[in-house]
Amino acid sequence: MKTPPPSLLSYILLALMCLYPSQGSDHICESPDHGSTLQVMHVYSPCSPFRPAKSLSWEDMVLDIAAKDEARLLYLSGLVAAKSVVPIASGRQTIQSPTYIVRAKIGTPARTMFMAMDTSSDAAWIPCTGCIGCPPSLFASAKSTTYKSLGCQTAQCKQVPNPSCVGTACSFNLTYGSSSIAAALSQDTITLATDPIPNYSFGCIQKAVGSSVPPQGLLGLGRGPMSLLSQTQNLYKSTFSYCLPNFKSLNFSGSLRLGPVGQPLRIKYTPLLKNPRRSSLYYVNMIGIRVGRKIVDIPPSALAFNPITGAGTIFDSGTVFARLVQPAYIAVRDEFRRRIKGATVSSLGGFDTCYSVPIAAPPITLLFTGMNVTLPPDNILIHSSAGSITCLAMAAAPDNVNSVLNVIANMQQQNHRVLFDVPNSRLGVARELCT
């Protein structure tokens, strides 16, 4: 290939610099989303309105995140264990804190909200003007010319939990432990990147009791009724992918790509499994775990998919650290420890395999039907910034009777493209550095 003349080269460089503004500049926070791709930010990112006012120490941040994970796990295990079929019970987790957020524009004129991205939830939730107990950033539904509330007789009203009629309007409540929210079932235009979606059904939160309602709402990416997928069949064909940035590089952002266009062609797939009782969750068949080259000894029942009990393995965007049921975790942890010879094991919060000397960790490979995913150290270890502590970023599922779920969490998914291809009933994973 011939080198282009300098003038052309500098033009190309200039064009590239305009396309990719320098890292850390405010430009990156203002940069618009293009096509059907949204920027995904960590909730502590400099571009996030929810970043902590003063930066937390590494240990405090890990303990804080791990504590929120406990609540998430309780929610997920409660979800799979419940006997009755409640179509969008998953909305209960709106009472939890977001990890990754995307920008969405709601109403006419459009109001930008930073919504939590959640693959284990169906409905979208937005705190609305007049809400009692909501954080201060509210959507002024009365000022939107395209807003309407949905009546008790609508099909959507039959899909929400605990519906009730306020006059003729459909309203519903969710409880989670000691927290609860009440929302009006509503419709308005939601714009994702450059795609306007008219008449999108969501819950307009009117009352919240409890501490951690996602401050600007939640976007459910589950596959049950009322989810984004169900409401945009023609536009996005129940297909999306994301790349979650590593939370140690808070200046980086990832992407949420909606629809089949632009999805990776070279990617490994495993079949998605469907649990009719918990239609929102993305179950896959994990058949084993390798630590280094050794497939560890896990009783098959600890990994088996069972739609009745809810047992099995899910990919979840809202849990931070992987959780394995007790026998699976213990087998992985013991082999991991065996490979790190001579170093003293300590603990930190809920993590029981930590070291205060540098270690050479073996890779961990998750074996799924048709797909093996080898996780590099960044996806399995958390390091303190000073490098003084390193922990295995996994834990045993909470020790209760409902603990039947293995959760592939967002730390394990960071810097991978994870593709949810519902029409072909498959989930794809490929390494990708998201920036």
Q: Which residues are catalytic?
A: 118, 316
Query: Which of residues 332 and 404 has its CB atom nearest to ligand NAG in the complex?
Result: 332
Please tell me the chain's helix, strand, coil percentages from 3-state DSSP, rounded to the nearest 5.
20, 35, 45
State the burial class of residue 9 (Cβ atoms within 10 Å of its Cβ: 0-12, 13-18, 19+): exposed
Give CA–CA dist 52/365, Å, rounded: 34
Report if residue 52 touches ligand NAG, rule: CB under 6 A.
no
Query: Residue 241's beta-bridge partner residues?
Result: 257, 419
Q: What is the DSSP letter of 264?
A: -
Q: Which stretch binds ligand NAG (CB under 6 A): 67-75, 221-229, 326-334, 369-377?
A: 369-377
Question: Could you say whether residue 173 binds ligand NAG (CB under 6 A)?
Answer: yes
Q: Given candidates 4, 35, 52, 198, which one binds ligand NAG under the rule CB under 6 A?
A: 198
Contact 120, 201 (CB under 8 A): no
Minimal distance, residue 398 CB to ligand NAG, in Å? 28
Residue 315: other Cβ atoms inside 10 A? 23
Instruction: Tell me which of 102, 185, 367, 409 binds ligand NAG, using CB under 6 A.
Output: 367
24, 52, 262, 358: which one contacts ligand NAG (CB under 6 A)?
24
Q: Applying CB under 6 A, does 162 fall inside the site for ligand NAG?
A: yes
Q: List, edge to edge, every strand of the sheet that includes 346-348.
A: 346-348, 351-355, 390-392, 381-383
* Residue whose CB is less far from ligand NAG, 271 or 398: 271
The dihedral region occupied by 183, where left means phi > 0, alpha psi between -120 and 50, and beta the remainder, is: beta
Q: Which residue is nearest to ligand NAG (CB)?
A: 24
Q: Are 332 and 324 in contact (CB under 8 A)?
A: yes
Q: How far is the CB of 365 from ligand NAG (least distance, A)?
A: 7
Window of 64-72, 335-343, 354-362, 363-371 that interacts with ligand NAG by CB under 6 A: 363-371
Q: Is 66 in the site for ligand NAG (CB under 6 A)?
A: no
Per CB under 6 A, 185 contacts ligand NAG: no
**Count of residues of this chain found to bind ligand NAG when the rule CB under 6 A is applied:** 17
**What is the radius of gyration, based on Cα positions, of the chain?**
22
* 364 and 392 Cβ atoms separated by less than 8 Å: no
Q: Which is nearer to ligand NAG, 264 or 398 (CB)?
A: 264
Q: Which of 216, 176, 218 is nearest to 75 (CA)?
A: 176
Distance in Å, CB of 207 to ligand NAG, minimum: 5
Contact mark string toward ligand NAG, 120..159, x via CB under 6 A: ----------------------------------------
Contact predicate 308/81, CB 8 Å: no
Q: Is 31 in the site for ligand NAG (CB under 6 A)?
A: no
Bridge pairing between strands 148-149 and 125-132:
unpaired
Residue type (1 letter), 89: A
Stretch 239-278: interaction string toward ligand NAG, x if CB under 6 A: -----------xx---------------------------
The closest of 172, 190, 189 to 181, measured between CA atoms, is 172
For residues 168 and 199, which CB has a smaller minimum distance to ligand NAG in the complex? 199
* Residues making contact with ligand NAG (CB under 6 A): 24, 46, 162, 164, 173, 182, 198-199, 207, 250-251, 290, 295, 367, 370-372
